[in-house]
């Protein structure tokens, strides 16, 4: 407890200087605690809350690049819903996220189980697996762009030489279904390590005794996975799925580098369409409306999933 | 770690030194003024990554020379052309960034209120240069005057592989788009198809506008705001595209970026593309033998004549710039005959001057493969023609409406429906409501 100046005076001791008084003030728990979180709060407010608030304001106004507009309520949202390209984008986003996420869950858990084994060079392998997640997306997607190139596709070249397909092979980025397959494949390639490593952490926390007990009871390997492993990693899996849903819905780099939303807008996602409308076309109001459109749904997903994870 | 004799600062010394440095930088930032010893004017210019990189080298060289002569520095930043609209929008929005930038197409209309008047420098440079080509001038003349100065235009000829033509028994390149279709069928059977981009890239616009005008089709009426897509003539254009796509091209045209057709020709696979001279220049620069086989011819025509939507590039100065006069001096410097000539040479005939007196450079006459290029100016119109360019035109291009209309049609959408879809989109683009393709 801090000692007041009167007590010191009464005891005949010299009064503390300004600096030590300041230190005393600073070291009080409620001041010090708040002081420590101020930098984080400033960062969050300036880099997250402020832009988010601005985006909401833009989406409700007729705001053009460099020229603020009047408040128009939900007009931007109504306008984008009336447009075929936006509806196509809505559909693309769900197809893209649905398929990519399912693949990442299945393959991610599978990869995590493999990594959990006692392999030789375990550390190196785990490090290598993380590479797609570590390399900047724009760079790695450029490599994919070449792999899917209409003339020089190494994917087609390999498949043709293995006699899996007939030349010239699919036009990956020029035909709607293939283009969607291509962007999903790159998203899965990039997102898989995040799944695998996080699930691996969950797997490591599962006590071996549970498996041994199940094995003694005669459970098959599938049975052990389904009835023992999966229920125990559910909370971790839940959080990973939550993050991945948000990241996948919000993907931008992969589509922008590979297809720019084409062919005929069949790979546009919210972020790429918002970029096209808001930044290339200059209509910030509608661009913001497009990017915020999915926000209420994602907020609900976050709410219910976190509640579920807490219950678990 | 290497040991040194330098005394290691104590934590207190380190903190007080870094605090002093931080305070110094903070006061500099707060005053928005560099310290006295660093006060030298800096002019900043945002341009694109030129398709002929030597052109950018020459531009930087001239910028340096101008800087030396005027006791300032001129920084030329370049970036990929497809990323420029977003960067420019960010500068417009934040009211900060470069002093001047390379505007394209109808940019000056989109940012009319944010760009300074160029009337004075346009008049000065224009008078010295013998006057501007009308198509280049129109791209910069907004209702409130010149908001940019034409910089250069890019001819958009037919570019073809003579060896493939000879092998197919074709004597000359196409004079009309119909002839291209006929030739394309023969060439595709030979295994060397033709290619026109039908995708989210700039070349797709340039070709669509050119073909449409040649058939007498329009995107906008002469008033510049009434959509004019739904017509028999546009239907004819779409049918032509469908047949060309099916019988003379490969589906890869749906995935091309602006370099897609260059690669297609340079790989030896393609027999004909609609593109500036950049593939030829690239082949020359890389000493590829295919350079000997590549040649150019004027853009094909149609029942309504020859028309070309050649890209127009110009320069604009932001109102927020503190170096507006310096920027204008720099622009006038770039237009001095010896400088502009050197720049044309560096681009190997890619950069065409928008001023009539600069257009007689010997580089075009000297090389028979370039000789017809200046003639393209006779067929050129700004996008939006027969109306004047405006911001709706820019939005139509930015959102790939015409390319998507064709892409939908070649993928099976009935012609009438594709036209109706595009008409709706153009209507919205004119209203400024929605600019998506």
Q: Which span out of A295-304, B339-348, B390-399 was modeled with the highest average pLDDT?
A: B339-348
Nearest CB neighbour to A282, from listed B89, B251, B411: B89
Q: Do B86 and A280 touch (CB under 8 A)?
A: yes
Q: Each residue of B188-242: pLDDT tens digit?
A: 999 999 999 999 888 999 999 999 999 999 999 999 989 999 999 999 999 999 9
Q: Each residue of B145-170: pLDDT tens digit?
A: 999 999 999 999 999 999 999 999 99
> Mind telling me how many Å the CA of B376 is from chain A's nearest CA?
29
Interface test with A, best of B84, B88, B89, B408 (most A CBs within 10 A): B89
Cβ-Cβ contacts under 8 Å, B404 against chain A: 264-265
Nearest CB neighbour to A281, from listed B201, B264, B399: B399
Q: Are residues B294 and B404 in the same domain?
A: yes
> Mind telling me how many Å the CA of A279 is from chain B's nearest CA?
5
What per-residue confidence (pLDDT) applies to A84? 84
What per-residue confidence (pLDDT) applies to B9? 57
Tell me the pLDDT band of B436, cut-offs 50, 70 and 90: very low
Nearest chain B alpha carbon to A81: B434
DSSP H or E run through A95: helix A84-116
Cβ-Cβ contacts under 8 Å, A260 against chain B: 82, 200-201, 257
What per-residue confidence (pLDDT) applies to A181? 96
Q: Do B398 and A276 touch (CB under 8 A)?
A: yes
d(CA B201, CA B259): 9
Tell me the pLDDT band of B178, cut-offs 50, 70 and 90: very high
Q: Which one has a higher pLDDT value, B34 or B334?
A: B334
B178, part of any domain: yes
**What residue ranges do the domains of chain A occupy?**
5-59, 75-311
A306, A312, B228, B352, B359 from B341: Cα distances, Å? 66, 74, 40, 10, 9
Interface test with B, best of A79, A262, A279, A291 (most B CBs within 10 A): A262
Q: Are residues B305 and B316 in the same domain?
A: no
B388, part of any domain: no
Q: Are residues B84 and B226 in the same domain?
A: no
Omega within 30 of 0 (cis) for the link into B114: no
Mean pLDDT over B25-36 rounds to: 51
Cβ-Cβ contacts under 8 Å, B93 against chain A: 65-66, 284
Cβ-Cβ contacts under 8 Å, B267 against chain A: 151-152
Fold of A75-311: MetI-like fold (1.10.3720)
d(CA B141, CA B161): 39
Nearest chain A alpha carbon to B320: A66
A59 with A77: CB under 8 angstroms? Answer: yes
Interface test with A, best of B255, B266, B394 (most A CBs within 10 A): B255
Mean pLDDT over B63-82 rounds to: 94
Cβ-Cβ contacts under 8 Å, B188 against chain A: none
Q: Are residues B206 and B318 in the same domain?
A: no
Q: Do A66 and B269 touch (CB under 8 A)?
A: no
3-state secondary structure B300-313: CEECCEECECCCEE
Q: Does A166 touch chain B (CB under 8 A)?
A: no
B68, part of any domain: yes
Q: Do A151 and B264 touch (CB under 8 A)?
A: yes
Ranges A245-254, B34-43, B78-87: which has the least confidence: B34-43
Q: Do B264 and A171 touch (CB under 8 A)?
A: no
Q: Is pLDDT of B431 > 90?
A: no
B393, part of any domain: no
Q: Each residue of B296-307: pLDDT tens digit?
A: 999 999 999 999
Beta bridge partners of B318: B115
pTM here is 0.81
Cβ-Cβ contacts under 8 Å, B399 against chain A: 276-277, 280-281
Helices (H) and strands (E) in chain B, counts: 18, 13
Share of chain B above pLDDT 90, in %: 73
- Residue B162, phi then psi, degrees to nearest 5: -65, -35
Q: Are residues B148 and B253 in the same domain?
A: no
What per-residue confidence (pLDDT) applies to B23? 54
Strands B100-104 and B41-48: parallel
A193 with A200: CB under 8 angstroms? Answer: no
Task: List chain A pLDDT tens, one digit each, 312 residues.
Answer: 455 556 656 666 666 788 888 898 888 888 899 999 999 999 999 999 999 999 999 999 988 887 778 899 999 999 899 888 899 999 999 999 999 999 999 999 999 999 888 878 888 888 888 889 888 888 899 999 999 988 888 999 999 999 998 877 888 998 889 999 999 999 999 999 999 999 999 998 888 888 888 888 888 888 888 888 888 888 889 889 988 998 999 999 999 999 988 788 899 999 999 998 888 878 889 999 999 998 998 898 888 888 887 776
Strands B41-48 and B145-146: unpaired
Q: Do A281 and B260 touch (CB under 8 A)?
A: no
Q: Is pLDDT of B35 > 80?
A: no
Q: Are residues B414 and B286 in the same domain?
A: yes
Query: What is the total count of domains within chain B?
Result: 2
CATH code where residue B200 lies:
3.40.190.10
B171, part of any domain: yes
> Mind telling me how many Å the CA of B251 is from chain A's nearest CA?
7
Q: Each residue of A254-297: pLDDT tens digit?
A: 999 999 887 888 999 999 999 988 888 788 899 999 999 989 98
Q: Are residues B423 and B404 in the same domain?
A: yes
Cβ-Cβ contacts under 8 Å, A64 against chain B: 432
Q: How many Cβ contacts (< 8 angstroms) between chains A and B? A: 118
B186, part of any domain: yes
A114, A160, B130 from B124: Cα distances, Å? 73, 62, 11
Q: Are residues B179 and B273 in the same domain?
A: yes
Residue B393: both structure tokens together: 């035109």
> Mind telling me how many Å the CA of B92 is from chain A's nearest CA?
5
Q: Is pLDDT of B32 > 90?
A: no
B62, B403, B422 from B228: Cα distances, Å? 44, 16, 10
DSSP classification of residue B48: E
Strands B158-161 and B149-153: unpaired
Cβ-Cβ contacts under 8 Å, B395 against chain A: 281-282
Mean pLDDT over B413-422 rounds to: 96
Q: Which one has a higher pLDDT value, B180 or A125?
A: B180
Q: How many CB atoms lie within 10 A of CB B150?
A: 27
Residue B422 lies in domain? 158-309+399-431
Mean pLDDT over B262-269 rounds to: 94
Q: Are residues B276 and B227 in the same domain?
A: yes
């Amino acid at each position: 407890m801090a000692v007041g100046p009167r007590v010191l005076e009464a005891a005949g001791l010299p009064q503390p200087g300004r600096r030590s008084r300041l230190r005393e003030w600073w070291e009080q728990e409620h001041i010090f605690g708040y002081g420590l979180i101020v930098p984080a709060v400033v960062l969050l407010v300036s880099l997250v809350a402020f832009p988010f608030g601005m985006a909401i304001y833009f989406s409700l106004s007729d705001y053009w690049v460099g020229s603020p507009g009047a408040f128009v309520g939900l007009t931007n949202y109504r306008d984008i819903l009336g447009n075929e390209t936006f509806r196509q984008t809505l559909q693309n986003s769900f197809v893209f996220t649905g398929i990519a996420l399912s693949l990442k869950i299945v393959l991610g858990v599978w990869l995590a189980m493999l990594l959990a084994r006692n392999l030789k060079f375990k550390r190196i392998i785990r490090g290598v697996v993380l590479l797609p997640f570590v390399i900047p997306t724009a760079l790695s997607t450029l490599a994919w762009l070449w792999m899917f190139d209409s003339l020089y596709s190494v994917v087609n070249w390999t498949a043709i030489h293995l006699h899996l397909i007939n030349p010239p092979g699919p036009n990956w980025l020029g035909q709607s279904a293939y283009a969607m397959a291509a962007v999903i494949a790159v998203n899965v390639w990039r997102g898989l390590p995040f799944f695998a490593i996080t699930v691996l952490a969950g797997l490591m926390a599962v006590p071996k005794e549970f498996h041994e007990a199940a094995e003694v009871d005669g459970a098959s390997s599938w049975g052990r996975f389904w009835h023992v492993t999966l229920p125990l990693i559910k909370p971790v899996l839940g959080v990973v799925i939550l993050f991945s849903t948000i990241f996948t819905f919000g993907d931008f780099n992969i589509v922008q580098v590979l297809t720019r939303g084409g062919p005929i807008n069949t790979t546009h996602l919210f972020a790429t369409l918002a970029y096209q409308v808001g930044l290339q076309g200059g209509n910030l109001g509608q661009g913001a409306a497009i990017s915020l459109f999915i926000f209420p749904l994602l907020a609900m997903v976050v709410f219910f999933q976190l509640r579920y994870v807490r219950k678990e | 770690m290497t040991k040194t004799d330098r005394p290691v600062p104590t934590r207190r010394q380190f903190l007080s030194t870094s605090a002093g440095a931080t305070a110094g930088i903070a006061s500099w930032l707060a005053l928005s003024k560099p310290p006295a010893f660093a006060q030298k004017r800096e002019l900043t210019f945002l341009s694109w990554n030129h398709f002929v990189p030597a052109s950018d080298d020459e531009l930087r060289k001239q910028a340096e020379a101008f800087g030396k002569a005027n006791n300032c520095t001129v920084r030329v930043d370049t970036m990929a052309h497809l990323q420029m609209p977003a960067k420019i929008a960010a500068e417009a929005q934040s009211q900060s960034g470069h002093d001047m930038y390379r505007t394209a197409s109808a940019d000056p209309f989109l940012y009319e209120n944010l760009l300074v008047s160029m009337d004075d420098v346009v008049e000065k440079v224009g008078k010295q240069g013998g006057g501007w080509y009308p198509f280049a001038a129109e791209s910069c003349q907004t209702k409130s005057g010149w908001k940019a100065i034409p910089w250069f235009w890019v001819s958009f000829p037919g570019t073809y592989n003579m060896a493939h033509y000879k092998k197919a028994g074709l004597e000359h390149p196409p004079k009309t788009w119909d002839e291209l279709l006929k030739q394309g069928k023969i060439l595709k059977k030979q295994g060397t198809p033709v290619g026109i981009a039908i995708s989210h890239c700039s070349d797709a616009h340039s070709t669509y506008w050119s073909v449409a005008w040649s058939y007498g089709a329009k995107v906008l009426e002469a008033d510049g705001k009434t959509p004019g897509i739904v017509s028999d003539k546009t239907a004819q254009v779409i049918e032509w595209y469908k047949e060309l796509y099916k019988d003379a091209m490969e589906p890869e045209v749906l995935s091309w970026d602006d370099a897609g057709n260059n690669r297609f020709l340079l790989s030896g696979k393609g027999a004909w593309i609609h593109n500036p001279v950049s593939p030829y220049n690239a082949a020359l620069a890389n000493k590829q033998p295919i350079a000997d086989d590549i040649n150019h011819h004027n853009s094909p025509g149609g029942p309504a004549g020859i028309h070309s939507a050649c890209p127009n590039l110009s320069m604009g100065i932001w109102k927020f710039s503190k170096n507006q006069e310096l920027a204008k001096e720099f622009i006038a410097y770039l237009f001095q005959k010896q400088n502009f000539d050197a720049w044309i040479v560096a681009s190997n005939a890619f950069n065409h001057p928008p001023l009539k007196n600069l257009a007689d450079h010997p580089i075009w006459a000297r090389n028979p493969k370039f000789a017809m290029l200046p003639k393209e100016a006779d067929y050129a119109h700004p996008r939006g023609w027969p109306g004047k360019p405006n911001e709706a035109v820019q939005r139509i291009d930015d959102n790939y409406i015409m390319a998507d209309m064709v892409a939908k049609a070649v993928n099976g959408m009935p012609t009438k429906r594709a036209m109706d879809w595009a008409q709706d989109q153009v209507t919205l683009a004119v209203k400024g409501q929605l600019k998506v393709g």
